[in-house]
Amino acid sequence: MSLNGKTAVITGSNSGIGLGVARALAGAGANVVLNSFTDREEDHALAAGIAEEFGVEARYIQADMSKGDQCRALIEKAGACDILVNNAGIQHVAPIDEFPVEKWDAIIAINMTSAFHTTAAALPLMRKAGWGRVINVASAHGLRASPYKAAYVTAKHGVVGMTKTVALETAKEPITVNAICPGYVLTPLVEAQIPDTAKEYDMSEDEVVEKVILAKQPSKEFATVEQIGGLAVFLCSDAAAQLTGQPIAVDGGWTAA
């Protein structure tokens, strides 16, 4: 699959799933625009490293995904957006009656509303180019609920709903809109939490992974960022041209029940 000449904008992509998707798309030949809310030398160096490794154009553009005007400015500054990957997200865990209002507002803004702004800004560019792919990184929590994650579950369900709506709006165009719904993915952030979680439960690291972290994931294996990236590349392929409006679970069987 060659994405030569295409430009992909990936929000929240200086680490974890977003970076994995950016690397996969660059590996398929796409020029990539990385993004996060920071503006550090290492952010720009990350883009430069991808450009050198894969022989594509790669840039880093700072934008705060909690602010609608900055979401839209990201697409404008990118200049082109054939592939939009809405990945930016944050999490907070608390009972709903104790859930901080500012955390609710931030999660809804970054995890859901940002995708509204970037998609609205990107679609005219895709229409002008005569081709487009919108890939929303939702979650198994966009298909199933868990306690104490009211804002996150609400936002991810909203992303799945938005995916279906925009897919219908673009169904007669060469544009597809899909959602990837990962279960637990082995990112550096998750990996760093394993030792402390093992101490908390007085278990070995292997035990805490299987019995606590992956309790809902029947495969008892993490998904990888490379697997999520591979799916994103497939969704950009001609083979996926009639695949639109779909939430695709990558969750080791979690949502099968």
pLDDT at 251: 98
In angstroms and rounded to an integer, the radius of gyration of the C-alpha atoms of the chain is: 18
User: Residues near 7 by Cβ (< 8 Å), separated by ≥ 6?
Assistant: 30, 31, 32, 33, 57, 78, 79, 80, 81, 82, 83
CA distances from 98 to 17, 90, 106 (A): 29, 18, 16
Cα 55 from chain centre: 24
1 pLDDT above the threshold of 80: no
pLDDT at 189: 85
Q: How far is it, in rounded angstroms, from Cα 254 to Cα 192?
A: 23
For residue 113, give the nearest of 131, 136, 97, 132 by alpha carbon: 136
Contact criterion met (CB below 8 Å) for 66 and 34: no
Q: How far apart are the first and last CA of the chain?
A: 33
Coil, helix or strand for 246? coil
- Catalytic residue positions? 152
Assigned token pair, 53: 């490794």
pLDDT at 257: 81
pLDDT digits (tens, 9 = 90+) for 117-175: 999 999 999 999 999 999 999 999 999 999 999 999 999 999 999 999 999 999 999 99
pLDDT digits (tens, 9 = 90+) for 188-243: 889 999 999 999 999 999 999 999 999 999 999 999 999 999 999 999 999 999 99
pLDDT at 177: 99
Confidence (pTM): 0.97
88 pLDDT above the threshold of 90: yes
Q: How far is it, in rounded angstroms, from Cα 77 to Cα 229?
A: 24
Look over the chain and give the mean of its residue pLDDT values, rounded to a whole number. 97
CATH number of 7-185+223-251: 3.40.50.720
pLDDT at 57: 98
